[in-house]
Structure 1
Amino acid sequence: MSSLDAVTAWVANYRKAWESNDPHDIGDLFADDAAYFTEPYAEPWLGRDKIVENWLKIRDVPGSTTFEWHPMLVTEDLAIIEATTTYPDKTYSNLWVLRLDNLGQARQFTEWWMRHPTEG
C-alpha cells in the first residue's frame, strides 16, 4: 500500500531513524521479512533484524547530513523518491525504490546513489 501520505510518513521516520540510530526506530521502518538493497545489485539485507544490524554497522553520525527529497512517482504498490544527501565534504544524489505493506512498513527498499563530482 502506497499513498503520498504513507510515503511521506515513511521518509520522515527514515530520517528520524537516520538521526537517532535507535534500533527500534530503524526496525519500525521495515516489515519482518523486508529486503533492503543498499545498491541495486548488492546482496540484500533480509529481514528486520539483519537490516537493523547492518544499518548500525555503517551508521552516520547524527547531525552530519542534510537531506532533501521529493516523490517522483507514487502508485498503489510502489514509490520512487529522488533525494539529495549532503555531508560536510561530499554530496550524493539518491533514487529510492520503495514498496510499502498495508502497515506502512517497507517490504522492499532499494537505494541508487551517485556521488557528485568534486570541484577542483
Structure 2
Amino acid sequence: MTRARVRWNGAAVTRATRTSAARGLRLGTEHVLQVARDRVPIEEGTLERSGTATVDEASLTGAVAFDTPYAVRQHEDMGLRHDAGRTAKFLELPMTEEADTVGEIIAAEIRRSLR
C-alpha cells in the first residue's frame, strides 16, 4: 500500500487565488476597455482617450469608464449618427457581450496560480 502525505497551506492558496483573481480582473477590464474603444464614437479621439479601466483589489471589483462632459449623452442617445462601426451603447454592449470572455480570463489566471 502506497502512502502519501499532503500538506495543505490554505492561507497561501487563498492569497495566491485572490492575487490571481485580481490580475485576471485587471486583464478582463482592459479587454472590455479595448473593445469599447473600438466602438466609441470618434470625432477627435478625446472620448476614446478618456477611457480607463480600474480594479479595486480589496473588493475584487472592476470598472471601465469614459470621462468627458459628453460621454453619457454619446452613450445613451440612440438618435445620434456615428461613423461605421461606432455606436451609442459603446460601453454597455461590450460589457454584456464580453462577460463570458472576462470570466474565462479570470479563471485562466486563477488556474495558472494553482499549478
Give TM-score, length-normalised by structure 1. 0.33
Higher helix share: 2
| Structure with larger Rg | 2
Give TM-score, length-normalised by structure 2. 0.34
Higher strand share: 1
